[in-house]
Chain A
Amino acid sequence: MLTFLRQRVLSSAVPLVVVVLGVFLMARLTGNPASLYLPENATQQMRDEFSRAHGFDKPLLAQMVDYFSGVIRLDFGQSLRTGESASTMALRAYPATLQLATVTMVLAVLLAIVIGSWAALNPNGVADRVSSFMSMTAASVPDFWLAIVGIWIFALTLGMLPTSGVDAGALSWVLPILTLLIRPLGVLTQVVRGAMISALSAPYVKLARSKGADEYRVISRHALRNASPPALTVAGDLAVGLVNGAVVVETIFGWPGIGKLMIDSILERDFAVLQAAVLLTAVTIFALNILIDIGYALLDARVRRKVTA
């Protein structure tokens, strides 16, 4: 198990290192990085002082060592807007995004299992139509527009829900989660449906039925269990892709998470904060990828045997 874990950590760490290195190189490729950190109307003297203070006049290799040791100590410098440490700002915004993403993924998985299995049991039934409509929506409707239509109908016209913010308690969660839910739910339902169709026609399901197991047991213990590994892989990819959705949804609904922080720091040219937010997200994705691998090993006996051997 440990060898497997080490192997997965190493291979997932490659993209992480590439991102950290990529951010560093891209920031240096533009010439003077001081122009990235400082406002556009900064004078030449300000730029020079900033370069000296932050070691941008040192050789590239020395800068790289400084940068990496800063990354490890979570020191990305200070925000230009607030003067706060960039990593503090990123870490403060982090829980809000994590809550939003977790609730969305849990809802998506539960609903996908119910709708997907139901659709697999009754081909061409109501659930089947619903699931194909949802996957079509997920693939073709932009989430930001869906959010705006939601605000227009439920917040502005009907006045049932708040337009943005987190002050209204549970009600303020409804629109962000619904918007974020569309994509993972549509894709995942199709995957569960497909996996269930093939699992339901497998010999072990026939055996379970012929030995007299009731339908609930056949579905939950036999079919669903074997349909879950492919669904888990896709769910993991979708959770990684949720970052894209979170940026959009948080910006529209004024959700104080890490996605909004990224866009705000781009629009106000606050490079230190952007860097901290991007790298924090990258680390989360790195951890998520490892969790998916472990979950996969736990669910699939064939992988588990290979792991423990």
Chain B
Amino acid sequence: MTQDSSVATLSADATADVPTPVKARSERWSNMLLRDPMAAIAAAILLVVALVAVFGPLLIGESATRGNLALTRLAPFGTAHGWEYFLGSDLLGRSVLGRLILATRTTMSVAVPVVLLSLAIGSIVGMWAGYHRGWRETSAMRLADVILSFPSLLLAVVVLYIYSPNVANIVLILTIARIPIYLRTARAESAELRSRLFVDAARTFGASSGAIIRRHIFPVVLPTLLTVAALDFCYVMLAESSLSFLGIGVQPPDVSWGLMVAQGKSYLRTEWWLSIFPGLAIVITTVSANILAAWVRIATDPGQRWRLTTSRKRRSLRRTVMEAQ
């Protein structure tokens, strides 16, 4: 329906400026997102998390870093001491909400670079290996097998013992551990694409292998890779918080969600909010990313997109028709 109207506007002012189709397309995406309430809420939550990670630390001031000994062990959901202490305070009188906001930035500053780096390296090597086949493919896949056949934590434990656990080293370790995921996906897709007609045509025209991978293979593989990346974002967040929880990840005075859970662990009997709220923050973010990843998978699959563009009533109608057949 939306598609029809955008086509109509397009043909109506065909002489208009070029960006119109792009705009129409982005409108369709946002409409599709709004029609699925769960995915829209998930996207909104992730947007809030991103905004908090970027701008949050500017808002909270010193209540998160400098303890106020007059305000220690405040229970959550009290408004007597201002919004900073809405989620309670810890044993040094630092506000839990403020520390959560600071931790958002740390957690994101690990998860985002890891996902982007492993996505970039893994997909480039994977497409290259899948396109060329032969020894390039074999060696890349063997390397991925070696990395994948051992639990990432085992690698992290040794490396973070020998080199000090700081954000850069955690990013490095997790990137190495996650590259094989993208490498395998990109390799499989590009090995399949290289025998397609449009790749053959490009090769016949004399395009270089680099240009073919960049212009013909990459755009086709990208949606799959993005879906994998969205799911992997959850994995990386959980891995970072596990490492921080175990004491070999983010180190104090920096703070991450996993580290906050670990620090509050000993006070569970009396100050339960110190551990429970940071964990909830992790769960809410990962659940949102999971829901959005499922939505992206459907939205980028032409065979399933009708689920999002048709209304609920027509969808059930269609289901009955399909079941009757």
> Is the pairing of A and B real?
yes
- A194 CA to B149 CA, complexed, in Å: 24
Q: How far is the CB of B308 from chain A (nearest CB, A)?
A: 19
Q: How far is the CB of B217 from chain A (nearest CB, A)?
A: 28
A266's partner among B149, B161, B261 (CB-CB below 8 A) is B161
B140-176: which have CB < 8 Å to A?
142, 145-146, 149-154, 157-163
Q: Is the CB of B286 within 8 A of A140?
A: yes
| Interface: A19 (CB within 8 A) | yes
Query: Which residues in B have their C-beta under 8 angstroms from that of A173?
Result: none
Q: How far is the CB of B91 from chain A (nearest CB, A)?
A: 17
- A271 CA to B283 CA, complexed, in Å: 34
Q: Is the CB of A285 within 8 A of B157?
A: no
- A29 CA to B161 CA, complexed, in Å: 13
Q: How far is the CB of A65 from chain B (nearest CB, A)?
A: 21
Proximity bits, A42-59, B CB within 8 Å = 1, else 0: 000000000000000000
| Interface: B314 (CB within 8 A) | no
Q: Is the CB of B149 within 8 A of A15?
A: yes
Given A19-B150, A247-B246, A263-B246, A145-B282 contact (CB < 8 Å): yes
Given A140-B234, A243-B154, A285-B149 contact (CB < 8 Å): yes
| Interface: B276 (CB within 8 A) | yes
Query: Which residues in A have their C-beta under 8 angstroms from that of B247?
Result: 263, 266-267
B282's partner among A14, A142, A267 (CB-CB below 8 A) is A142
- A247 CA to B279 CA, complexed, in Å: 18
Q: A-B contact count, CB below 8 Å?
A: 119
A117-175: which have CB < 8 Å to B?
136, 139-145, 148-149, 151-152, 156
Smallest Cβ-Cβ distance to B265: which chain A residue: A148
| Interface: A241 (CB within 8 A) | yes
Q: Is the CB of B158 within 8 A of A274?
A: yes
B287's partner among A22, A136, A148, A263 (CB-CB below 8 A) is A136
Query: Which residues in B have their C-beta under 8 angstroms from that of A36?
Result: 161-162
Q: Is the CB of A142 within 8 A of B242?
A: yes
Q: How far is the CB of B280 from chain A (nearest CB, A)?
A: 8
* Number of A residues, CB within 8 Å of B: 45
Q: Is the CB of B276 within 8 A of A149?
A: yes
Smallest Cβ-Cβ distance to A151: which chain B residue: B268
Q: Is the CB of B146 within 8 A of A18?
A: yes
Q: How far is the CB of A28 from chain B (nearest CB, A)?
A: 10
A145's partner among B153, B272, B279, B289 (CB-CB below 8 A) is B279
* Number of B residues, CB within 8 Å of A: 41
Proximity bits, B225-237, A CB within 8 Å = 1, else 0: 0000001001000
| Interface SS of chain B | helix
A140's partner among B159, B248, B261, B287 (CB-CB below 8 A) is B287
| Interface: A299 (CB within 8 A) | no
Query: Which residues in A have their C-beta under 8 angstroms from that of B258?
Result: 142, 144
A142's partner among B153, B283, B289 (CB-CB below 8 A) is B283
- A223 CA to B269 CA, complexed, in Å: 49
Q: How far is the CB of B230 from chain A (nearest CB, A)?
A: 11
Query: Which residues in A have their C-beta under 8 angstroms from that of B142?
Result: 14
Q: Is the CB of A15 within 8 A of B150?
A: yes
Given A144-B245, A263-B246, A26-B159 contact (CB < 8 Å): yes
- A251 CA to B248 CA, complexed, in Å: 13
Q: Is the CB of A243 within 8 A of B151?
A: yes
- A58 CA to B234 CA, complexed, in Å: 46
Given A14-B146, A142-B279, A145-B279, A30-B154 contact (CB < 8 Å): no
- A262 CA to B286 CA, complexed, in Å: 28
Given A144-B258, A148-B261, A149-B279, A274-B161 contact (CB < 8 Å): yes
Q: Is the CB of A282 within 8 A of B150?
A: yes
Q: Is the CB of A262 within 8 A of B162?
A: no
Query: Which residues in B have their C-beta under 8 angstroms from that of A274?
Result: 157-158, 161
- A3 CA to B155 CA, complexed, in Å: 31
Q: Is the CB of B242 within 8 A of A144?
A: yes
Task: Pull 29 A–B residue pairs with CB atoms less than 8 Å apart, ordered by A.
Answer: A14-B142, A14-B146, A15-B149, A30-B162, A141-B286, A142-B245, A142-B258, A144-B242, A144-B261, A144-B262, A145-B282, A148-B261, A148-B265, A148-B275, A152-B275, A240-B150, A241-B151, A244-B152, A247-B153, A247-B157, A252-B265, A262-B157, A263-B246, A266-B161, A266-B248, A271-B161, A274-B157, A278-B158, A282-B150
- Please name the 8 residue pairs, one residue from A and one from B, whose CB atoms are nearest each other, closest first: A145-B279, A140-B286, A243-B151, A244-B153, A15-B149, A15-B146, A140-B287, A144-B245
Given contacts A26-B162, A262-B157, 4 further A-B contacts (CB under 8 A): A12-B149, A15-B149, A142-B282, A244-B242
